[in-house]
């Protein structure tokens, strides 16, 4: 659920139709690609994936999937980071030791006896292993164009598997610790996460509004810069009554079918931020899986439907966006996701979204549109920076002048730009104050993060620094005969190392530091220069000599 302030952003009129997108990528050769209608263009109510790939494929981004763990699958080959198993109950975990560094999904099957003795209700009905985390992860980041299987949304992203649910679900404490750890926070008893997630996918749902450890964990993850994506839930009820869907700051995802209408099972309401394909009981979303009905066996593929499948679509789209621009903060990315969404289909009789489906804001801003989001980000103008700085600084034998410098960005001038010195030998900058170190120009660079309105970038400020005169003098005889030489007399108050250079190499050349050798008839021009040295400014003199026979 996004904040009211962020929702207000949607009132902006964005001329997406004026954006000239890059040509879409060619279709991949994955076996199941023709059946992946969930990734189709927006006019078919898919997420418009091929239009996004020319901008990004998710390189450098870490997607944490807090779920049932994962089983080895070719779709993740070479892209799985060291995760963790936060399931405390060893019997539920089926690994015999509770929490451990191995996030492998050991299977969440429930036998008749286990179901009969459980107090977990519908979570503990008799069933085979679901391999839920593996399926969810593959939607977001399965390998692409490898000639087999399916195409993932962010095929160059890295998977961080974090196991938090097992047989009969999971505990609030285990899930909360998994979220915190995934974002890079310290968790007692667990090693430091060396690869904090950029995006955290939570395809899990529990009864009750967001509170307690889950709310605190989500808040911590957001403070560390992660984008948190949560499934709205599959109870056909208000998502405000489910957690983590109702947590403040998360991107909550409802499910739509191939016609763009809310699926019968999907939760809805003001907590929902966006919708994405979730599949139906007859046409689920294709994903990676395992053949084992209890313990893991050989890898395979399967279809599954639910908001659990819808959420990783959005996690994958956010991964593409974060790879394209790593500086735009999570709330701004969420705003861009909503502003670029595909509108819901309309009831021809009313001209409004179908009653009971996605009318009255029940399903968020629209259907996630990866291509439109990336095109919108690419079309953002370069940042503007306003500087508050002196026109110049002075420097003398007793040291350089200091003055405050400030940089702000945006039309309202409220966003603070990060300032740093480019010319470190000329000036220093600390605590908002620049100090002249030499008489050279001081160059400061203001770096601006991306926002919904402007692309990231940097703008330089050059300060003129007025120092002492070098008092350079240079003299030489007015005429030299061809083949002869003469020495120049050069002096300066500055300690800088002066040098002489012939500007007319066909008539004269420099021998040593100051001797001019006549090698051709005509006028010889020699430039004597001295660089900036401490408080002394750079200077130069040009000598003219006539070369005769």
Which SS3 state, helix, strand or coil, does residue 443 take?
strand
d(CA 415, CA 457): 13
Q: Answer yes or no: are the C-beta atoms of 92 and 166 closer than 8 Å.
A: yes
Through-space distance between the first and last CA atoms of the chain, rounded to whole angstroms: 90
Q: Which residues of 488-519 are buried (b: 16+ CB within 10 A; e: fewer)?
A: bebebebebebebebebeebbbbeeebebbbb
Alpha carbon 293 to its chain centroid, in Å, reads: 38
φ, ψ at 392 (rounded to 5°): -160, 165
Tokens of residue 480, six digits = 């030299």
DSSP state of 249: T
Q: Answer yes or no: are the C-beta atoms of 526 and 503 closer than 8 Å.
A: yes
d(CA 294, CA 128): 6
Parallel/antiparallel/unpaired status of strands 346-347 and 415-416: unpaired
CB neighbour class for 431 (10 Å; exposed up to 12, middle 13-18, buried from 19): exposed
d(CA 11, CA 328): 20
Which residues carry out catalysis?
Answer: 67, 132, 308
Helices 330-339, 307-324: axis angle to 10 degrees equals 110
Q: How many CB atoms lie within 10 A of CB 471?
A: 12
Give the chain's radius of gyration (CA, Å).
33
Q: Answer yes or no: are the C-beta atoms of 422 and 434 closer than 8 Å.
A: no
d(CA 399, CA 350): 76
d(CA 164, CA 482): 90
Question: What one-character-per-residue DSSP string does 460-520 give?
Answer: EEEEEEE-B----EEE--SEEETT-EEEPEEE-SS-S--EEEES-TTTEEEETTTEEEE-S
Residue for token pair 């499948």:
309
């Amino acid at each position: 659920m996004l904040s009211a302030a962020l929702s207000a952003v949607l009132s902006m009129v964005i001329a997406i139709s004026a954006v000239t997108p890059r040509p879409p990528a060619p279709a991949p050769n994955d076996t199941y690609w023709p059946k992946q209608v969930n990734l189709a263009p927006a006019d078919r109510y898919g997420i418009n994936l091929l239009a996004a790939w020319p901008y990004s494929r998710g390189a450098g981004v870490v997607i944490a999937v807090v779920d049932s763990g994962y089983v080895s699958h070719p779709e993740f080959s070479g892209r799985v980071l060291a995760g963790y198993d936060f399931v405390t109950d060893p019997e539920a975990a089926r690994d015999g030791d509770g929490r451990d560094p191995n996030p492998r999904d050991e299977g969440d099957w429930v036998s008749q006896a286990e179901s009969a003795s459980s107090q977990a209700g519908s979570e503990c009905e008799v069933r085979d292993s679901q391999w839920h985390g593996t399926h969810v992860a593959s939607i977001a980041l399965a390998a692409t164009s490898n000639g087999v299987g399916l195409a993932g949304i962010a095929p160059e992203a890295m998977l961080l598997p974090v196991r938090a649910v097992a047989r009969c679900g999971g505990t609030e404490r285990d899930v909360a610790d998994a979220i915190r750890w995934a974002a890079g926070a310290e968790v007692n008893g667990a090693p430091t996460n060396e690869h904090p997630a950029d995006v955290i996918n939570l395809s899990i749902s529990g009864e009750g509004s967001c509170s307690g450890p889950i709310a605190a964990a989500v808040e911590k993850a957001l403070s560390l810069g992660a984008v948190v994506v949560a499934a709205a839930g599959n109870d056909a009820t208000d998502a405000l009554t489910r957690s983590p869907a109702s947590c403040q700051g998360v991107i909550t995802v409802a499910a739509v079918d191939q016609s763009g209408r809310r699926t019968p099972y999907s939760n809805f309401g003001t907590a929902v931020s966006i919708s994405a394909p979730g599949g139906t009981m007859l046409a689920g979303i294709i994903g990676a899986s395992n053949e084992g009905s209890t313990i893991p066996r050989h890898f395979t593929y399967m279809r599954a439907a639910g908001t659990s499948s819808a959420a990783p679509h959005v996690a994958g789209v956010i991964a593409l966006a974060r790879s394209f621009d790593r500086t735009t903060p999570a709330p701004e990315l969420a705003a861009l996701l909503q502003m670029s969404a595909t509108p819901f289909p309309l009831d021809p009789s009313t001209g409004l979204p179908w009653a009971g489906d996605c009318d009255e804001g029940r399903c968020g801003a629209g259907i996630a549109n990866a291509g439109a989001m990336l095109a919108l980000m690419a079309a953002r103008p370069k940042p503007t920076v306003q500087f508050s700085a002196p026109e110049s600084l002075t420097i003398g034998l007793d040291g350089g002048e200091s003055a405050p410098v400030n940089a702000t960005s945006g039309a309202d001038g409220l966003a603070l730009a990060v300032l740093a010195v480019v010319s470190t030998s000329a000036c220093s900058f600390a605590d908002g104050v620049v100090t002249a170190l030499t008489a050279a120009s001081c160059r400061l660079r203001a770096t601006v993060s991306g926002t919904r309105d402007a692309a990231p970038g940097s703008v330089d400020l050059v300060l003129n620094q007025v120092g002492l005169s070098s008092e350079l003098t240079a003299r030489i005889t007015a005429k030299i005969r061809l083949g002869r030489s003469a020495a120049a007399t050069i002096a300066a108050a500055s300690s800088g190392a002066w040098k002489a250079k012939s500007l007319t190499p066909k008539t004269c050349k420099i021998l040593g530091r100051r001797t001019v050798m006549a090698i051709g008839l005509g006028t010889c021009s020699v430039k004597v220069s001295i660089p900036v040295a401490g408080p002394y400014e750079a200077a130069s003199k040009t000598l003219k000599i006539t070369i005769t026979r």
